[in-house]
Amino acid sequence: MQNNYEYNDGGRSKYFRMKYKSDNIGDCVVRALAIATGDDYQLVRRELWDTSFELGNMPSSKPIYESFLENRGFIKEKKIKGFNLGNYPKSEKEIYVAVLANHLVCVEQGVVKDIWDCRKKYPYAIWIKPN
């Protein structure tokens, strides 16, 4: 695989316990967006909650995270067929958020950053961070 993997909880462990597998609560959207933007985990979490309250969706729903990414200037691209995340042919200089089946993950400079290694999964779409 050309892309490496690095454990990264997006800053969640600064606020909440991450010791046990049961501590993983399905917050991949918050984690991926915090990593991709460089913003604090709690600030991203709060913005997603506020937006979800305004738009009437759950914080981890597609309309909410897409609104978040659009507001930050991320550009949505269709997937490149035939490549899993570990072999995805994007520049190592880019930061992007990959939309997988029921999961979001940040890839920064060719490194998949998440709490689990999802490089074998195939992205549905990616959101490229503006320069």
DSSP letters spanning 50-118: HHHHHHTS-TTSHHHHHHHHHHTT-EEEE--TT--GGG----TT-EEEEEETTEEEEEETTEEEESS--
Q: What is the pLDDT of residue 81?
A: 85
Look up the pTM and report it: 0.92
CA distances from 117 to 17, 85, 111, 114 (A): 20, 10, 11, 7
Domain span holding position 83:
4-128
Query: Rounded CA gap, 74 and 93, in Å?
Result: 15
Q: How many domains does the chain have?
A: 1
CA 94 to chain centre: 14
Strand order in the sheet with 4-7: 4-7, 111-114, 103-108, 95-100, 125-128, 75-78
- Per run of 10 residues, the mean pLDDT along the chain (length 131 residues) is 90 84 80 97 97 94 96 90 87 86 94 95 93 78
Q: What is the pLDDT of residue 24?
A: 67
Q: What is the pLDDT of residue 6?
A: 96
Q: Exposed, middle or buried: residue 117 (CB in 10 Å: 0-12, 13-18, 19+)?
A: middle
> Furthest-apart CA pair in the chain: how many Å?
41
